Amino acid sequence: MKGYRILIVALLVVVGCGAPAAQQKKAAITQNQKAGIVQTQKAGVAQAGKADVYAVGFYNLENLFDTIHDQRKNDYEFLPDGTNKWTSEKYTHKLRNMARALADMGTDKVAGGCAAIGVAEVENARCLRDLCAQKPLKARDIRYIHIEGPDNRGIDCALLYNPRLFKVRNVKLVPYVYVKREDAGRATRGFLVVSGTMGGEHVTIIVNHLPSRGAPSFAREEGGRQLRVVKDSLLRDDPGVKLLIMGDMNDDPQDRSMAVALGAKRHMKDVESPGGLWNPWWDVLAKGTGTLVYQGAWNLFDQIIVSSSLLDREGTATSLKLWQWEVFRRDYLLQQRGRHRGEPFRTFSGGNWIDGYSDHLPTVVYLKKVKKSL
């Protein structure tokens, strides 16, 4: 990745834990909660005992730009004299809002929040450094991983993480490759691959932001195919790795890019093992819950897809497994009045700055690791 640079800076990330209310006893929160892990007494789990639960999230931050022009990037609309009149005041408000939401993610299950959060639409490392300096994140000593990418607008993906809960081993940016001759010379966001240790196990997170709906569906289908190649390569290196593929897919779970090109299944029983992928968001959207609204209808572009190694099909596993998942909602993330009431509270509306959060809602998955009783 010549010309890219890896920047890993101290940041504050949120880690979470929890238990399904219908299947578990009341959580007994221990002193580990401050570190983002809670131990919960479970019922109905084989070898019932205490379990550590980790929250992992994704959030499209909707144009987190600073106020300074980056050379060779088309960021002019987010400058003080640009279309959006992007002043220091607006930037400061955006940082404050993003930090609040990021710190709250995962806290439906655990006060400590998420162990790791993939983010999209971040301009550069400066923005991430300023974001990490916000009080809710700084208090938790969150760090970030970012590799400058080739996107024309300058928006990248990054990973925020809590170093006490996710120990980073390796970082790389795999480029998205345009394959059609007419697209020669184009560049967009790549696939940020971060491998590390969570709960004592090998976990790899892929953060991506596929081409927008302004591009033909083929561009996203090709993104799904390229994601599958990255996934297969990681599994060849370690067949037991726990994989989470997350991002703004710009497609819903049932679209070809996800269901066919990437091969993420709707039903757990259909997931091949090893090597298969499960998409838990398919049925969430079918029930009317999404992460963004277009022309009055909900879509669920913001997905976290898991490998078969994270599935506990029999309910007896003691290694790290998927437990729960949710579209993360708070009243402050939603419009409270007007014709867009109930939709994501975005930064701009009709060209006017309304001091909101994002046009997307975050998603969170919870991973559990059951401890055998002695």
Are 64 and 131 spatial neighbours (Cβ–Cβ below 8 Å)? yes
Mean pLDDT for the chain? 88
Q: Among candidates 183, 160, 158, 161, which has minimal Cα distance to 173?
A: 158
Mean pLDDT of 66-86: 96
pLDDT score, position 318: 85
Question: Does the structure show a pLDDT above 50 at 293?
Answer: yes
The structure tokens listed for 183 are 């697209």
Residue 281: predicted pLDDT: 98
pLDDT digits 0-9 by tens, 303-330: 999 999 999 987 777 899 999 999 999 9
Question: Is a pLDDT exceeding 60 seen at residue 21?
Answer: no
Task: Report if pTM > 0.85.
Answer: yes
Predicted local distance difference test score (pLDDT) of residue 167? 97
109 token code pair: 């299950």
Count, residues in the chain: 374
Cα 300 to Cα 256: distance, rounded to the nearest angstrom: 14
pLDDT of residue 28: 34
Cβ–Cβ under 8 Å, residues 107 and 59:
no
Q: Mean pLDDT over residues 34-51, rounded?
A: 40
How far from the centroid of its chain's Cα atoms is residue 73's Cα?
A: 24
Please report the pLDDT score of residue 17 as a whole number: 32
Residue 8 has pLDDT above 80, yes or no: no
User: Is 192 a residue whose pLDDT tops 50?
Assistant: yes
**CA nearest neighbour of 172 among 203, 146, 142, 209:** 146
